[in-house]
Amino acid sequence: MTGAVAVTGLGVVASCGVGAEAFWQGLLAQPADGDRRVPDWDPAPWYDSPKDARRADPFTQYAIAAAAMALDEAGELGADPDRIGVMIGTGIGGISTNEQQIVVRHEKGDRRVSPFLIPMMMPNAASAAVSMRHGFQGPCETTVTACAAGTHAIGNAVNTIRSGRCDVMIAGGSEAPFTPTSLAGFGNMTALSTSGRSMPFDTERDGFVMGEGAAVLVLESLERATARGAAILGLVLGSASTADAHHITAPAPGGSGAIRCMELALGDAGIAVDDVGHINAHGTSTPLNDMAEAHAIAKVFGTSPGPVITSTKGVTGHALGAAGALEAAAVLLSIRHRQVPPTQGLVNVDPEMPTLDLVMGEPREWEPAAALSNSFGFGGHNGTLVIAPAP
């Protein structure tokens, strides 16, 4: 399946900034240690009333806000609502509402559980809310593939346009995972950093720092976007999805599933390894993941000099199902600003890794070219997007 799909709108809610340009400036700044939460979040600007906002879990609120920003940038779509779809990925959906209502039931009994619990906690709540808010009646679906969900949602949306089913897709990922039980679970499985520092590819990395947020893209065919005079932020040339079929949390040895995913994505995009100038790595700051991804990149691209590589999780932390969408947004902004942000937190590259061109310290100027955005999730889910500048 071939055919470039244009990105004509971009919205972001992240710990380092709300709005695309604030997010970009945040990626260039040194973050504080600790969890990466969206500071002073107020959903009011994106809701008709406080009651409507209260009836949405934070992960839905983030998606509503990011979608509104993206649609505002895209302008008048001029498409049949039946041919506009929504696909927003998430890892754990409305876990905040779920946990709160479990406590309510335990302390106050069954009758006090909110009747809005189910529509607030269900993982498809964000996609459903965006479609209802804007009257989009095309496919409305949710991808739940752990930390690859945002990437898979965008890839699935691209293929929905390529197939001819829809003219426009609203796609991305959203996550709001900060609950006491969630943090305890990730901590007890030793996935979280005990130092509170996100240090992708660093010799002292000791786990990921939890993040949250959302990113949403407006996607349409390049021909359609050009015909309506839309400003094109970039192109999604291709994507791929594979499974390690190895372990519930650990990546396959040597990154074999990631290797195949990147190769398939390049094939889907119709480009060669030498055409790729940049990789936004999954780079979670966990010992096994970073090592496997480094070996996978070296296997696909070699090491001299290879693409310019960064992990923006040094700033954003790991936003689980929203991570891939946030990183796709970072690639699009790298194209816009002709810079690759540094891997914040990376000081001493792990000497056991193959030599890669990792951006450290300061942003790197680059001539925008095709770029990969990688996501790898618990359960062995692998996802890769190929993103390129507009023609």
pLDDT of 183-240, one tens digit each?
A: 999 999 999 999 999 999 999 999 999 999 999 999 999 999 999 999 999 999 999 9
Segment (H or E) for 156: helix 149-162
Segment (H or E) for 26: helix 20-27
> Which residue range is the domain that position 130 belongs to?
5-388
Percent of the chain with pLDDT over 90: 96
Which one from 152, 261, 278, 282 is the annotated catalytic residue?
A: 282
Structure confidence by residue, pLDDT tens digits, 83-104: 999 999 999 999 999 999 999 9
Known catalytic membership, residue 337 = no
Number of domains in the chain: 1
Which one from 16, 140, 147, 166 is the annotated catalytic residue?
A: 147
| Residue bearing the bigger pLDDT, 301 or 304 | 301
CA angle, residues 263, 266, 270, in degrees to nearest 5: 140
Which one from 295, 318, 337, 381 is the annotated catalytic residue?
A: 318
Beta bridge partners of 141: 87
Known catalytic membership, residue 318 = yes
The CATH number that applies at residue 103 is 3.40.47.10
Contact 157, 169 (CB under 8 A): yes
């540094």: which residue's tokens?
Answer: 342
Contact 301, 281 (CB under 8 A): no
Structure confidence by residue, pLDDT tens digits, 277-301: 999 999 999 999 999 999 999 999 9
CA distance 309 to 318: 17
Nearest CA to 389 out of 327, 338, 340 is that of 338
CA distance 223 to 220: 8
First to last CA, the chain: 20
Known catalytic membership, residue 247 = no
**pLDDT score recorded for residue 253:** 86
Name which of 25-29, 153-157, 161-165, 304-308 the model is least confident about: 304-308
Contact 221, 167 (CB under 8 A): yes
Distances, alpha carbon 35 to alpha carbons 16, 101, 211, 320, in Å: 11, 24, 6, 13
* Statement: the pTM of the whole predicted model exceeds 0.85: yes
CA distance 349 to 153: 32
Kindly tell me if the per-residue pLDDT of 1 is higher than 80. no
Average pLDDT estimate for 92-119? 97
